[in-house]
Structure 1
Amino acid sequence: MSRPLVPSRRLLSTFSQCLKHDKTQSLTSQCRQLTTLRTLSQTCLNIRPVQNGGRSEGPRYFSTSSSRTYKTVQEQRSRYRSGPFSWRAGLLFLSSGAALVFYFRYEKARMERKRVAEATKGVGRPKVGGTFELVDQKGDIFTDGDMKGKYSLVYFGFSHCPDICPEELDKMSQMLDLVAAHPSASSKPPLLPIFITCDPARDTPAVLAAYLSEFHPSLIGLTGTWDQIKDVCKKYRVYFSTPSNVKKGEDYLVDHSIYFYLMDPEGDFVEAIGRQHSPEQAAGIILGHVGDWKRK
């Protein structure tokens, strides 16, 4: 009967050493693989895959150093549908354009007002306005010095005028109300409305007081002697004439210029407002000049 084969101790020892050596090599190999993968992951971060016709050809690695916001497919499609401009950008563009148009129009009007004002003060041109001393409807002395520090709107006429003067004084009242109703009126120099008669023979202080009471309450009526009225009309370049050989108590008309003379706070002539201007247009002219003076 044969004996079973029994490995010797030497053989068993050799086999055990071989197993330990294999395990050690296996563990060493695994550690090397892990180290290699870790190195590759650090050096290959943020590498984009090769694009071929808009499609990805390989894996994509993402960085862990900075967070990314993942967008849904719907958000991406909405972004590309809206294009580079949004409705907010369009609204901002339109509002900026409108503001520029308004600014350039305003500056153009302001420069035109400045040109008109400077033209009246040019060398060789006749000066409009000057010193005078008259009497108001209350019987008090009124001079050109009372106009300083305020804008003045001066009109020449007479109380017996049947149509033009009442119409222009009504227009003057509307202009005054429009200017006073403007939001910035309280912060601007006041506007002084003045009516100077071209008919001192009939327009006494009492007559002017009764006549002007039918119009704006702030109106100041001025009269004086014939020479005083003639002198102030000459200084304001106002044409007026009365018929000759008029008998005492006889009714007559006075021919005169029909303009409102706008004077600045220094007593200089600014602009003449004629019958072609509506009350709204005239008020706009006055407010424009007053606003320009405020910036000085």
Structure 2
Amino acid sequence: MNKIFAYSVAALVLVGVVITALVLTGALPEPNSSRQRSGTIVGAPQIGGAFTLTNNKGQVVTAEDFKGKLMLVFFGYTFCPDVCPTEMNVYAQVIQGLGDKADGVTPVFITVDPERDTVEVMDEFVNAFDPRIVGLTGTNEQIAEVKKAYRAYGQAVNKEDDPDYYLVDHTSFSYLMDKEGNLSTVFSYGTSPEEIIKKISEQL
């Protein structure tokens, strides 16, 4: 079986499992029950937790540093050709749309490609959208741990064939964490800035 195909199938299967789990636990609505793209968690399995990473300013940070504010989290990579820049543009619109309330939420972009996404690369990427977005990178081990904590997925699909310009299959959900670092809401890719703003405003 072609390696790229095999990795893609694995990614689709994992995403399907995550979606099913979130539907069953109330994190996402059933496909035919509503057009709503987000849901409030009721009795969901643990998502989130402790991590130690490096932000786009070169500072070591932990999950504790983000407590006291809501945290909007997305896993991706800076070389991503479509999903990641699209979602970061949504984040920028959310921050701007919140106005004075924006101080109560920290938008976070966590790389799943730490080998290419250095501190400098992450800083340039997030600042292209809004300097209030925090980019987080780290060692392969640290990224593996935070992916595990958030049930996030990230897998290079053609790295051996093209070590400089490979693509990475990854989770495309956004996680809204409450002020204590607990999962509050999951937004699927394509959720409008207006809906995210509404959900965040309800919790501020």
Alpha-carbon distance, 1:260 to partner: 1.2
Superposed CA offset, 1:50-69 (max 9, x none): xxxxxxxxxxxxxxxxxxxx
Q: Aligned in 2, Cα 1:222/1:212: closer, same or farther, shift over 3 Å?
A: same
Give me the TM-score of the superposition, normalised by structure 2: 0.76
Alpha-carbon distance, 1:248 to partner: 7.6
Q: Which residue of 2 aligns with 1:256?
A: 170
Q: Which residue of 2 aligns with 1:223?
A: 137
Alpha-carbon distance, 1:132 to partner: 0.4
Say if 2:59 is the partner of 1:140. yes
Residue number among 170, 176, 179 corresponding to 2:89 in the alignment: 170
**Larger fraction in strand:** 2
Q: Distance in 1 between matches of 2:166 and 2:158?
A: 10
Alpha-carbon distance, 1:273 to partner: 1.2
**Runs of 5+ consecutive residues of structure 2 not aligned to the other structure:** 1-38
Alpha-carbon distance, 1:202 to partner: 0.3
Equivalent residue runs for 1:32-51 within 5 Å: none
**Larger fraction in helix:** 1
Higher relative contact order (CA 8 A, sep 6+): 2
Paired positions, count: 166
Q: Which residue of 1 aligns with 2:26?
A: none
Alpha-carbon distance, 1:242 to partner: 1.1
Q: Secondary structure at the match of 2:97?
A: helix
Q: Aligned in 2, Cα 1:245/1:258: closer, same or farther, shift over 3 Å?
A: closer
The answer to whether the 8 Å contact 2:157/2:166 transfers is yes
Q: Secondary structure at the match of 2:47?
A: coil
Residue number among 111, 116, 120 corresponding to 2:40 in the alignment: 116
Q: Which residue of 2 aligns with 1:268?
A: 182
Residue number among 239, 246, 249 corresponding to 2:160 in the alignment: 246
Alpha-carbon distance, 1:247 to partner: 6.0
Q: Aligned in 2, Cα 1:244/1:278: closer, same or farther, shift over 3 Å?
A: closer
Q: Aligned in 2, Cα 1:248/1:204: closer, same or farther, shift over 3 Å?
A: farther
Q: Which residue of 1 aligns with 2:18?
A: none
Superposed CA offset, 1:40-94 (max 9, x none): xxxxxxxxxxxxxxxxxxxxxxxxxxxxxxxxxxxxxxxxxxxxxxxxxxxxxxx
Larger Rg: 1
Q: Distance in 2 between matches of 1:142 and 1:248?
A: 32
Alpha-carbon distance, 1:276 to partner: 3.7
Alpha-carbon distance, 1:180 to partner: 2.2
Q: Which residue of 2 aligns with 1:155?
A: 74
Alpha-carbon distance, 1:244 to partner: 6.0
The answer to whether the 8 Å contact 2:156/2:167 transfers is yes
Q: Secondary structure at the match of 1:241?
A: strand
Q: Distance in 2 between matches of 1:152 and 1:210?
A: 21
Give me the TM-score of the superposition, normalised by structure 1: 0.53
Say if 2:146 is the partner of 1:232. yes
Q: Distance in 2 between matches of 1:288 and 1:147?
A: 19
Q: Which residue of 1 aligns with 2:122?
A: 208
Q: Distance in 2 between matches of 1:248 and 1:132?
A: 30
Say if 2:98 is the partner of 1:179. yes
Q: Percent identity?
A: 38
Q: Distance in 2 between matches of 1:248 and 1:281?
A: 38
Superposed CA offset, 1:185-224 (max 9, x none): 38xx710111100000100001111111211110111100
The answer to whether the 8 Å contact 2:158/2:167 transfers is no
After TM superposition, the runs of 4+ consecutive aligned structure 1 residues lying more than 6 A away are none
Amino acid at match of 1:207: V
Q: Secondary structure at the match of 2:40?
A: helix
